[in-house]
């Protein structure tokens, strides 16, 4: 049985947690004041790769396209996963890329990682861009079977297949959990509800062993870090950055306040009498359930 090689593609994103995030008076994000971290969905993808390390002894490579400061995010991801290789794709010419041009860089980057990948993981979507396109587009460019919304997966080492559960929401109809089997290699976009489970004693022991190793490695993360520019990943200059982006941002504007869809009655929250009347009205409208 050959080694399982996994890769995770992650993104540096604004930290939206309260106390760290800063908003402008008009409600938009203050990017200058908000620091950047490993995106929460990226972190879940990292934990999915760590599951493969604990359970199948998989090798983990983590890659990101970003500015030089993104290396501390890779350090964080290594601390979470005991990653064996950290790759930062950083070049001025990557700037201004849309999802297709970003996917091209990530594809070229993954192909430069050590070993041939069996599984590449990505998060569900970034919390700032929120397109959710970069993962599947990278998968397509890599020629890998794309499995989205994955909430659970197991690898069959003998057959070199993966069995994954996917949560598919059919809006207005129902939700479906689909179990799918696919030959490796596959690209998995992990669902936000994914939680790795370590059930056996040996898994829990391995978990602790790798966690400890992760702590040691992350202290010396630069030993594991490789920084690549466009030429080093052999990315086609016509397909990356602004030149490789089919789309442009034409304009950004405040969403104009629409027409009021309802005419609100305004109640003073400190006026007990007004509250009493509102409650009476609401309870009356609910009367079929409230009066038993």
User: Site residues for other proteins, window 1-30 (CB under 8 A)?
Assistant: 16-18, 21, 23, 26-29
- 182 belongs to the binding site for other proteins (CB under 8 A): yes
Tell me how far apart the alpha carbons of residues 120 and 118 are, in angstroms, rounded to a whole number: 7
145-150: long-range pairs with CB below 8 Å, 24+: 145/182, 145/183, 145/185, 145/186, 145/187, 146/186, 146/187, 146/189, 147/180, 147/182, 147/186, 147/187, 147/188, 147/189, 148/189, 149/124, 149/189, 149/191, 150/48, 150/188, 150/189, 150/190, 150/191, 150/194
- 249 belongs to the binding site for other proteins (CB under 8 A): yes
User: Inter-axis angle of helices 201-219 and 71-81, to 10 degrees?
Assistant: 150
| Distant-in-sequence, close-in-space partners of 178: CB < 8 Å, separation ≥ 6 | 165, 166, 168
Stretch that binds other proteins, among 66-74, 79-87, 204-212, 270-278 (CB under 8 A): 270-278
- 268 belongs to the binding site for other proteins (CB under 8 A): yes
* Contact pick of 114, 181, 208, 236 for other proteins (by CB under 8 A): 181
Residues of this chain, 115-134, that bind other proteins according to CB under 8 A: 127-128, 130-134
- Return the number of the residue (4 or 147) whose C-beta is nearest other proteins: 147
- 178 belongs to the binding site for other proteins (CB under 8 A): yes
* Contact pick of 176, 212, 231, 236 for other proteins (by CB under 8 A): 176
- 95 belongs to the binding site for other proteins (CB under 8 A): no
Q: Give the total of residues touching other proteins (CB under 8 A).
A: 96
Residues of this chain, 131-170, that bind other proteins according to CB under 8 A: 131-137, 139-141, 145-149, 163, 167-170
- Return the number of the residue (1 or 266) whose C-beta is nearest other proteins: 266
Shortest CB 161 distance to other proteins, Å: 9
Residues of this chain, 220-239, that bind other proteins according to CB under 8 A: 238
Shortest CB 85 distance to other proteins, Å: 25
Shortest CB 98 distance to other proteins, Å: 7
- 36 belongs to the binding site for other proteins (CB under 8 A): no
* Contact pick of 32, 68, 171, 216 for other proteins (by CB under 8 A): 171
Shortest CB 114 distance to other proteins, Å: 25
- Return the number of the residue (6 or 137) whose C-beta is nearest other proteins: 137
User: Inter-axis angle of helices 40-56 and 71-81, to 10 degrees?
Assistant: 40
DSSP code per residue over 137-196: HHHHHHTPEEEEEEEEEEEETTTTEEEEEEEEEETTTEEEEEEEEEESPEEEEEPTT---
Q: How far is CA 222 from the centre of its chain?
A: 23
Residue 194 CB-half CA count within 13 A: 33
């Amino acid at each position: 049985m050959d080694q399982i090689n996994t890769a995770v593609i992650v993104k540096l994103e604004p930290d939206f947690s309260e106390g760290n995030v800063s908003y402008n008076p008009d409600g938009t994000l203050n990017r200058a004041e908000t620091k950047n971290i490993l995106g929460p969905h990226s972190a879940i993808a990292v934990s999915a790769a760590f599951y493969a390390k604990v359970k199948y002894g998989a090798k983990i490579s983590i890659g990101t396209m970003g500015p030089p400061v993104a290396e501390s995010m890779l350090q964080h991801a290594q601390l979470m996963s005991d990653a064996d290789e950290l790759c930062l794709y950083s070049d001025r010419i990557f700037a201004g890329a849309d999802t297709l041009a970003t996917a091209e860089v990530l594809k070229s980057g993954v192909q430069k990682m050590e070993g041939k990948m069996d599984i590449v993981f990505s998060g569900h979507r970034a919390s700032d861009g929120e397109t959710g396109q970069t993962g599947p587009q990278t998968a397509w460019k890599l020629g890998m079977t794309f499995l989205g919304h994955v909430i659970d997966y197991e690898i069959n080492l003998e057959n070199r297949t993966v069995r994954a559960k996917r949560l598919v929401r059919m809006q207005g109809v129902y939700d479906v959990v689909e179990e799918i089997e696919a030959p490796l290699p596959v690209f998995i976009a992990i669902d936000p509800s994914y939680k790795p489970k370590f059930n056996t004693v040996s898994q829990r022991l391995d978990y602790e062993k790798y966690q400890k190793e992760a702590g040691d490695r992350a202290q010396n993360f630069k030993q594991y870090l490789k920084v690549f520019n466009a030429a080093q990943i052999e990315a086609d200059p016509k397909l990356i950055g602004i030149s490789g982006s089919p789309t442009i941002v034409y304009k950004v504007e405040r969403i104009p306040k629409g027409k009021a869809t309802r005419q609100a009655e305004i109640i003073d929250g400190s006026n007990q009498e007004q509250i009493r009347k509102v409650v009476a009205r609401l309870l009356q409208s609910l009367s079929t359930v409230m009066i038993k």
